Amino acid sequence: MLPLISTNMTAAAACASSCLAQIMPAGQAQIQVALTISALLFTCGLVGFMSRRNMIVMFLCTELMFQGAALAFIAFGRQHMDTSGQVFVIFILTVAAAEAALALGLVVLLYRRRATLSAEAWGELGE
Amino acid sequence: MTAMAQRIDQLWPELMVLTGAVICALIGLSRQRSMRAAVPIVAMVTLAAAVLIEWMRPNSGSESGLLFPSLGHYVKIAIGILGIGLAAIGAGHMDRKFEAQIALGRVSFDPLRVVRGEYHAFFLFSIAGVMLVCGASDLIWLFLALELVSLPTYIMVALGRSNRAAQEAGIKYFFLGALATAIFLYGFALLYGATGSLDLIVIRDWLSVQSALGGLSSMAVLGLLLSTLGICFKITAVPMHFYAPDVYEGASTPVTAFLSIVPKFAGMCALIMLLGTVGWNGHSITASDGVRIAYSGLPQPVTAVLWMVAVLTMTLGNLGGILQKSIKRTLAYSSISHSGYMLIGVLAGPGAGFDALFFYLFAYGLMNCAAFSALASVERRGNDVDSFDDISGLRAKQPLAAGVLAISAGSLLGLPPFLGFFAKAYLFMAALEAGHVGLVVIACVNSAISAFYYLRFVLVPLVAPPSARADELAASNSAFPRIAAAVCGALLLLLSAFVTQMLGAASRASSGYTPVAVGDSAQDSVQSARAPAGGDANQVVVDSSTRHP
C-alpha cells in the first residue's frame, strides 16, 4: 500500500511543482505548497524505510527522501529567486542514479544467495 | 577565471590520487601476476606522491573563498599518510585465495574473478573524497565530496570478502548510509532555505546577521540539526551508530580498518565546516560605523544536542565494548566511543578545541592503523582472525603482532608513554578551557570503563596461554601488514616526542577561520539584510558591550 501511495505522491509532487512553475508566478502560497509536499515526501520515505522490510521498497523509500529534499531545493530556489538550488537538484539526481545502480547490484547479489527480498532473512551478524 | 585556475591548482593531490585510482583499476586486470601484485604498491606510491605535493606546497592559507582556508593542507597530509598504512594493511588480502590457486597452476587467470584492482581504485576514490571535503566552498561540493567518500566504501565492504556476512554488512551499510545522506541533504535544503545561498561563506554571513538580529530562524537551526544527524552516521555517533558493530564484524579486516578511519575524517571535517557557519561563542561583528553587533555563536539547541550526542556516544560505546567476544566488534565499539571524545573537541570550538581535535583525529587514525595491521598480519586457515580465542597466546607465534596490539590498545586507552595519552590530554584540557567541565568528568569516567576491554588486547595476546584455536595461526601471505604494524607501533611511541610540533601543525589547520563576517562584507550584509524574520536590519543593532564585557 505504502509504495503505491508514495509513488503516486512523487508523481503528484512532480506535476504540482512543474505546473506551478509554468502557469503562475510562484507566490508565497505556491512555495508553501511545494514545501509541504517536500516535507510529506521526506516523512513518507522515512516512515516507509522504518516500517518496510522489502529491500527494493526500502531503497525506493530512500529515493523518496532524496526527492523530498530536491523538491525543497527547487521551492527555496524559487523563493530566493536563485538558480543554484536548481543546480543542486541536478547533482542530487546524478548521485541518486549512482546510488540506484549500486543498490540494485547489491540487492541482486543478496537475492542470488537467498531467493528472497526480505531484509528479515538476513540476520547473521550480531551478538 | 583566475579564481578557477587557483582552485584547480589546489587540487593537485586529489588529481594525483584519482589518476592512481584509474591506474589501479587498469593494471588490476593484467594477465601478468607481477602487474596485479603491483596494484597496492601503485596505491601507496600515488598516496605518497599526493602527500609530498601537499607537503612541498607552502601553506599560505591564501586559498580564498573557503570557510577553513588551511584545513585542506593538514587533512590531505594526514589522510594521505594514514592511507598509505591502510593500503599496506590491505596489500595481498584481496583475491588471496584465487591468486594462490593460480600460483599452484590449478586455475587460469580470469579477469571476471579478480577484484583487487577495483578494490584499490575505490579505496583511492574514497580518500580523494576526504581530500575534497576540506576544499568545499559550497554545499553542492560538500555533498558530492561526502558521497565520493561513502559510495566506494559500500562496494568495498561487499567486495572485501565473498561470504554472506560481508554481503549482509554491505547492504546494511548501504541502506543506512543512503538514509543518512537523505537526512543531511534535507538539512542542507533547510539551510539553503534559511539563507538563500549555497556558498558556505555567504551562509555564514547571513547566519551571523540573523543571529545578531535576534537569533537564528528555526529553519536554520533545524537545518543544522538535520545535517548534524546525517553526519553522525559517518562518524558513528549515537543515534546513527548501531550499524557499526555489525558492519565492522562482517567486513574483512582491511576494510574495517578503512571504515574506522576514513569516513570519520570526512565526517568530522564536514561537521566543523557546517557548524562553522554559525561559529562558536564570543565573537562580534564591527560594522564600519563602529557599532559592535553581539553574536551568540552555536544556537542553544545545537549545543544541547551535540552535548547529549557526545555523552551518549562515549558511554554506549564503552559499555558495549565490555560485552564483546569478537575483536572487530570490540574495536567497533571503541571507535564509537572515540567519536564521542572527538565531539568534545567540536564543542570546545576554534582555538584549543580544534587543535586538539585535529591532533586527535590523526592520532586515532594511527592507533587504529596499528591495531588493524597487527590483526591483518596473522591469519587462521586462510581467514581473518576474529575472536579473542584466536589470538590467545599470540606472543609465542607472532611476537610483533602481539606487541603492536598491546601498544595500540594502550594508546587507545590513553596510557602515558603513547601518543593516545597526549591526544586525549590535549582534548580534555581544551574542553576544560572552554568550560565543559561536566563533559570532561564524564569522559574521564568513560576512559576508566574502557580499560576493561582495552586491557584484554594486552593480556590475551601477551599473558594468556595459547588456546587450541591459536595453534592454527599463521603469518599472512603478504609482508606489508607486518611492516605497517611495526611502523605504526613504533610511531605511536616515537611521535610522543614530537607532540608540540604535531599540535602546531594541527593548530595551523583551523587558522584563517573567522566565525563571523568581518569588515566591509559585514557592513554590506547588515545593510542588505532583508531580515528574513521581517525586522529591519538597520534598526536592530545590539551593543556588544552589554554581552561581552
ipTM for the predicted complex comes to 0.87
CB-based contact B60:B79 (threshold 8 Å): no
With a cut of 80, say whether residue B138 has pLDDT above it. yes
Question: Among A19-33, B1-15, B326-340, B371-385, which is the least confidently predicted range?
Answer: A19-33
Do B178 and A103 make contact, defined as CB atoms within 8 angstroms?
A: yes
- Cα of B163 vs its chain's centroid, Å: 27
Average pLDDT, stretch A25-44? 88
With a cut of 70, say whether residue B531 has pLDDT above it. no
Do A88 and B143 make contact, defined as CB atoms within 8 angstroms?
A: yes
**Between residues B471 and B455, which one has the greater pLDDT?**
B455
C-alpha cell of residue B325: 567476544
With a cut of 50, say whether residue B167 has pLDDT above it. yes
**Between residues B324 and B549, which one has the greater pLDDT?**
B324
Predicted model pTM: 0.89
- Residues of B within 8 A of A84 (CB-CB) are 138, 140, 197-198
* CA nearest to B251 within chain A: A125
Q: Could you tell me where the beta strands, DSSP code E, fall in B276-348? A: 283-286, 292-295
Do A124 and B197 make contact, defined as CB atoms within 8 angstroms?
A: no
Measured on CA atoms in the order B500, B502, B503, B505, is the torsion positive or negative? positive
Residues 235..254 of B with a Cβ closer than 8 Å to A: which? 245-247, 249-250
- Residues of A within 8 A of B172 (CB-CB) are 122, 125
With a cut of 70, say whether residue B383 has pLDDT above it. yes
Q: Burial, A24: exposed, middle or buried (Cβ in 10 Å; 0-12, 13-18, 19+)?
A: exposed
B474 forms beta bridges with: B379
> How many CB pairs (< 8 A) connect A and B?
121
Do B174 and A87 make contact, defined as CB atoms within 8 angstroms?
A: no
d(CA A14, CA B319) in angstroms, rounded, equals 47
Sequence-ordered list of residues with C-beta below 8 angstroms from that of B321, at least 6 positions apart, any chain: B330, B333, B334, B337, B450, B452, B453
B168/A contact by beta carbon, under 8 A: yes
Average pLDDT, stretch A37-59? 94
Average pLDDT, stretch B255-282? 90
Which range among B94-98, B224-228, B288-292 has the greatest average pLDDT?
A: B224-228
* A46, A87, A110 ranked by CB distance to B171: nearest: A110
With a cut of 80, say whether residue B182 has pLDDT above it. yes
Average pLDDT, stretch A80-96? 94
- Residues of A within 8 A of B174 (CB-CB) are 102-103, 106
pLDDT at B5: 78
Residue B284's pLDDT band (cuts 50, 70, 90): low
Interface of A with B (CB under 8 A): 35, 38, 42, 45-46, 49, 55, 58-59, 62, 65-66, 68-69, 72-73, 75-77, 79-80, 82, 84-85, 87-88, 91-92, 95, 98-99, 102-103, 106-107, 109-110, 113, 122, 124-127
Give the count of beta carbons closer than 10 Å to the beta carbon of residue A86. Answer: 13
* B186, B249, B324 ranked by CB distance to A69: nearest: B186
pLDDT at B517: 62
From residue A42, alpha-carbon distances to A48, B418, B466 in Å are: 10, 47, 54
With a cut of 60, say whether residue B450 has pLDDT above it. yes
Residues 321..340 of B with a Cβ closer than 8 Å to A: which? 323-324, 329
Parse chain B into domains and list their residue ranges.
11-516
Average pLDDT, stretch B191-215? 87
pLDDT at B345: 93
* CA nearest to A58 within chain B: B175
Do B155 and A72 make contact, defined as CB atoms within 8 angstroms?
A: no
Query: Radius of gyration of chain B from Cα atoms?
Result: 24
Do B154 and A102 make contact, defined as CB atoms within 8 angstroms?
A: yes
Residue B29 DSSP class = T
C-alpha cell of residue B443: 569522559
What's chain B's average pLDDT?
Answer: 87
Helix (H, G, I), strand (E, B) or coil at B193: helix
Average pLDDT, stretch B451-462? 92
Please tell me the distance in Å from A23's CA to the nearest CA on chain B: 23
With a cut of 60, say whether residue B310 has pLDDT above it. yes
Sequence-ordered list of residues with C-beta below 8 angstroms from that of B386, at least 6 positions apart, any chain: B249, B326, B327, B328
From residue B520, alpha-carbon distances to B138, B282, B295, B523, B525 in Å are: 21, 20, 17, 5, 9
With a cut of 90, say whether residue B464 has pLDDT above it. no
d(CA B348, CA B356) in angstroms, rounded, equals 9
**Between residues B51 and B100, which one has the greater pLDDT?**
B51
* CA nearest to B157 within chain A: A106
Do A72 and B189 make contact, defined as CB atoms within 8 angstroms?
A: yes
Question: Among A7-11, B413-417, B425-429, which is the least confidently predicted range?
Answer: A7-11
Q: Could you tell me where the beta strands, DSSP code E, fall in B370-488? A: 378-380, 383-384, 473-475
Question: Among B259-273, B324-338, B487-501, B513-527, which is the least confidently predicted range?
Answer: B513-527
Q: How far apart are the first and last CA of chain A?
A: 34
Do A91 and B143 make contact, defined as CB atoms within 8 angstroms?
A: yes
* B140, B165, B329 ranked by CB distance to A87: nearest: B140
With a cut of 50, say whether residue B543 has pLDDT above it. no
pLDDT at B534: 39
CB-based contact B351:B470 (threshold 8 Å): no
pLDDT at B291: 59
Residue A119's pLDDT band (cuts 50, 70, 90): confident
Closest CA to B82 of B411, B335, B366, B480: B366
- Cα of B356 vs its chain's centroid, Å: 14
Closest CA to B14 of B62, B64, B79, B66: B79
Do A62 and B175 make contact, defined as CB atoms within 8 angstroms?
A: yes
Parse chain A into domains and list their residue ranges.
26-126
Residue B467 DSSP class = -
With a cut of 80, say whether residue B65 has pLDDT above it. no
d(CA B458, CA B456) in angstroms, rounded, equals 5
d(CA B289, CA B545) in angstroms, rounded, equals 15
CB-based contact B179:A49 (threshold 8 Å): yes
Average pLDDT, stretch B146-173? 90
Any idea which residue has 585542506 for its cell?
B72
- Residues of B within 8 A of A108 (CB-CB) are none
Any idea which residue has 601507496 for its cell?
B44
Residue A104's pLDDT band (cuts 50, 70, 90): very high
With a cut of 80, say whether residue A12 has pLDDT above it. no
* A35, A55, A91 ranked by CB distance to B144: nearest: A91
With a cut of 60, say whether residue A18 has pLDDT above it. no
C-alpha cell of residue A6: 508514495
d(CA B416, CA A24) in angstroms, rounded, equals 69
Secondary structure (DSSP) of B227-244: HHHHHHHHTT-GGG-THH
Do B189 and A38 make contact, defined as CB atoms within 8 angstroms?
A: yes
pLDDT at B403: 94
pLDDT digits (tens, 9 = 90+) for B486-526: 999 999 999 999 999 999 999 888 888 877 765 545 545 55
With a cut of 80, say whether residue A22 has pLDDT above it. no
Do A91 and B140 make contact, defined as CB atoms within 8 angstroms?
A: yes
* CA nearest to B145 within chain A: A95
Do A125 and B172 make contact, defined as CB atoms within 8 angstroms?
A: yes
Residues B262, B267, B273: CA angle, nearest 5 degrees: 130
A54 forms beta bridges with: A118
C-alpha cell of residue B504: 602546531
- Residues of B within 8 A of A88 (CB-CB) are 139-140, 143, 188, 192, 198
pLDDT digits (tens, 9 = 90+) for B403-423: 999 999 999 999 988 999 999
With a cut of 50, say whether residue B292 has pLDDT above it. yes
Residue B431's pLDDT band (cuts 50, 70, 90): very high
**Best mutation site among A6, A62, A117 for testing chain B: the one with the most B CBs within 10 Å?**
A62
pLDDT at B533: 39
Give the count of beta carbons closer than 10 Å to the beta carbon of residue B44. Answer: 20
Residue A14's pLDDT band (cuts 50, 70, 90): low
Question: Among A80-89, B69-78, B282-291, B470-479, which is the least confidently predicted range?
Answer: B282-291
Architecture in CATH of A26-126: Orthogonal Bundle (1.10)
